[in-house]
């Protein structure tokens, strides 16, 4: 099966997005509840190379690269493209940030309410709504086992928006056309190597969690640009799966994620039997789950008052996060998507 033969909406992808959002919650439970992620499943499985949350984020970025490039190619207009992207990412984000600063913070702070609202950090926290990261609120989660960060997942959103900009630049340079896209490949390879070289000289470490999502986004773009050349075969799928598994003892997990994971993901999305639309609709609330789960998990730990079982934390947090994701989708995302559809029509 060629990728171009798939028509319509991938319910499988929607389901995978929902599962990825839940996996992020499960992954964070270990650090937030116990104070360390060393016992997290994927961290143990990959000898610390990647967490389950990192694998889940890879789903969002890789699939995002494909569908964002598809969107850019469809609208062929920068203003419309960025309007769509802004409506997608910012309204729910701003709601969660506002509620965190003015509802959650006052409930969990160690400060008095007058001290809390006099602290300028409360108002700086609102900068998260425009992707200028502020991690803490005054007196909030100070005694939690892990960092007192209110919403640790927000770090991915500036990277995501940078990927949107990069996709637009590729369109302007006509790199979304097959004949010219090939010239972007050496630029990305040598650019990545250059970043790691400079970072090594400067003593900067820990770049992999940032660079890997961007490379996966780029791989998603490549799959869109060369979609007529992508052939899905079960044997090739299993070769990629085998390479990914073998990368663990060889300590090549990050390279294998970039090179092998995209084929695995898109095979599951497009080349296997689709789940029902009703099941796939669970993916609609994935972004909302992603945004609200971390502070919910911090609240659960704060109420517990000490380290707790990660499994208790994820078991309690997931239902609340799903409910929060549904509310954000039902009252923010869905009305805006309907509005966006009418405007584009």
- 47-55 long-range contacts (CB < 8 A, ≥24 apart) are 47/248, 47/251, 49/248, 49/251, 49/253, 49/254, 50/253, 50/254, 50/257, 51/27, 52/23, 52/24, 52/26, 52/27, 53/23, 53/24, 53/27, 53/28, 54/27, 54/209, 54/212, 55/23, 55/257
Average pLDDT, the chain: 93
Query: If residue 170 lies in a helix (H) or strand (E), which one and from where to where?
Result: helix 156-172
pTM for the whole structure: 0.94
> Average of pLDDT values for 108-115?
95
- Paired tokens of 69: 């490039």
Q: What is the pLDDT of residue 73?
A: 93
d(CA 196, CA 206): 10
Min mean pLDDT across 96-105, 116-125, 159-168, 333-342 is at 333-342
pLDDT digits 0-9 by tens, 270-302? 999 999 999 999 999 999 999 999 999 999 999
Please, which pLDDT band fits residue 337 given cuts at 50, 70 and 90? confident
Task: Look at residue 144 and tell me whether its pLDDT is greater than 70.
Answer: yes
pLDDT digits 0-9 by tens, 17-29? 999 999 999 999 9
Closest Cα partner for 100 from 125, 120, 83, 72? Answer: 125
d(CA 343, CA 91): 17
The dihedral of CA 166, 171, 176, 180: what is its sign?
negative
Closest Cα partner for 13 from 60, 83, 46? Answer: 60
Task: Look at residue 345 and tell me whether its pLDDT is greater than 60.
Answer: no
Please, which pLDDT band fits residue 343 given cuts at 50, 70 and 90? low
pLDDT digits 0-9 by tens, 232-276? 999 999 999 999 999 999 989 999 999 999 999 999 999 999 999
190 to 109, 171, 220: CA distances (angstroms): 47, 20, 19
Q: What is the pLDDT of residue 226?
A: 96
Task: Look at residue 203 and tell me whether its pLDDT is greater than 80.
Answer: no
By percentage, how much of the chain surpasses pLDDT 90? 82
Please, which pLDDT band fits residue 310 given cuts at 50, 70 and 90? very high
> Average of pLDDT values for 319-325?
97
- Paired tokens of 270: 């497009």
d(CA 197, CA 26): 34
- Does residue 56 contact residue 261 with C-beta atoms inside 8 Å? no
Task: Look at residue 38 and tell me whether its pLDDT is greater than 90.
Answer: no
d(CA 237, CA 109): 50
Q: Which carries the bigger pLDDT value, residue 192 or residue 60?
A: 60
d(CA 120, CA 297): 25
Closest Cα partner for 214 from 287, 265, 164? Answer: 164
Coarse DSSP helix, strand, coil percentages of the chain, rounded to the nearest 5 percent = 75, 0, 25
Residues 4-41 as b or e (16 or more Cβ within 10 Å = b):
eebeeebbbbbbbbbebbbbbbbbbbbbbbbeebeebe
Look at residue 231 and give its three-state secondary structure: strand
């Amino acid at each position: 099966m060629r990728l171009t033969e798939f028509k319509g909406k991938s319910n499988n992808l929607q389901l995978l997005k929902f599962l990825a959002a839940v996996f992020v919650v499960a992954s964070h439970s270990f650090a937030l509840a116990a104070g360390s992620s060393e016992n997290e499943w994927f961290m143990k499985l990959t000898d610390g190379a990647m967490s389950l949350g990192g694998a889940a984020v890879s789903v969002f970025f890789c699939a995002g690269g494909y569908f964002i490039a598809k969107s850019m190619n469809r609208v062929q207009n920068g203003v419309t493209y960025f309007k769509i992207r802004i409506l997608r990412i910012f309204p729910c984000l701003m709601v969660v940030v506002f509620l965190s600063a003015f509802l959650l913070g006052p409930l969990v702070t160690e400060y008095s309410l007058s001290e809390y609202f006099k602290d300028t950090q409360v108002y700086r926290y609102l900068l998260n709504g425009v992707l200028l990261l502020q991690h803490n609120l005054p007196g909030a989660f100070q005694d939690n086992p892990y960092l007192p960060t209110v919403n640790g997942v927000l770090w991915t959103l500036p990277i995501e928006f940078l990927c949107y900009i990069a996709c637009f630049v590729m369109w302007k340079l006509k790199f979304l056309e097959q004949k010219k896209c090939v010239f972007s490949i050496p630029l990305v390879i040598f650019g990545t190597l250059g970043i790691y070289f400079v970072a090594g000289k400067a003593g900067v470490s820990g770049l992999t969690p940032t660079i890997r999502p961007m490379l996966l986004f780029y791989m998603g773009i490549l799959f869109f640009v060369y979609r007529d050349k992508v052939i899905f075969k079960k044997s090739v799928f299993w070769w990629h799966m085998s390479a990914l598994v073998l990368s663990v003892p060889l300590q090549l997990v990050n390279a294998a994620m970039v090179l092998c994971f995209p084929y695995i993901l898109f095979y599951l999305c497009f080349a296997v039997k689709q789940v029902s639309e009703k099941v796939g609709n669970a993916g609609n609330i994935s972004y909302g789950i992603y945004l609200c789960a971390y502070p919910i998990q911090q609240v659960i730990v704060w109420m517990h008052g000490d380290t707790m079982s990660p499994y208790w934390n994820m078991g309690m947090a997931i239902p609340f996060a799903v409910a929060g994701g549904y509310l954000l989708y039902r009252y923010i995302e869905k009305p805006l998507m309907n509005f966006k559809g009418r405007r584009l029509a």
